[in-house]
Amino acid sequence: MKITPLSIPDVLMIEPQVFHDNRGYFLESFNQAKFEQHLKRPVHFVQDNHSHSVHHVLRGLHYQVVKPQGKLVRVTHGEVFDVAVDLRINSATFGQWAGCILSAENHRQVWIPEGFAHGFYVLSPTADLSYKATDYWYPQGERTILWDDADIGIQWPLTMPPIIANKDAQGVSFASAEKF
């Protein structure tokens, strides 16, 4: 397993070792001991989520102010541009974003710690995104920041206007969003 910090050092790209042969491939998608050894802290996942989306769907930017979630994200089918936004007021990277391409072909995962908003944009005809969360979904604490907020300035690789949910279209600006 190769672990590399993205432009925000707490957001990590995880690349598993993939063993290919004439039958296909094998990879270890998660190892608790190795993961915690790298983070230098215990992490307890309590919920696994799966999202299926069509081309040009943009989901996010989502986070929970109550019961914040750390997320270990991977794509099992298709390809997405995945984004994390630092909402930790005392962080040196507060208000910055980090993004990467996750796909079924590159097998990469991204670790997004608690205190970040998360979103993704589907680059392929369809995509299945799966992620582990460190706390349970808590709708009363869920918040959404506008995906196209100018203060954040995410460079989404859009080729047409994205397909977004009403709740995402009604997100708040970064300036008025609750932070950590």
- First-to-last C-alpha distance (Å) of the chain: 31
Residue among 55, 56, 62, 136 flagged as catalytic? 62
Catalytic annotation on 107? no
- Long-range Cβ contact pairs of 13-18 (< 8 A, separation 24 or more): 13/100, 13/108, 13/109, 13/110, 14/72, 14/108, 14/109, 14/110, 14/111, 15/106, 15/107, 15/108, 15/109, 16/107, 16/109, 18/107
Beta bridge pairs of residue 131:
49, 73
Catalytic annotation on 62? yes
Q: Residue 1 has which token pair?
A: 């397993």
Residue among 20, 131, 136, 138 flagged as catalytic? 131
Beta bridge pairs of residue 3:
14
- Long-range Cβ contact pairs of 30-39 (< 8 A, separation 24 or more): 30/72, 30/132, 31/1, 34/1, 35/72, 35/111, 38/3, 38/12, 39/111
**Which active-site residues does the annotation give?**
62, 131
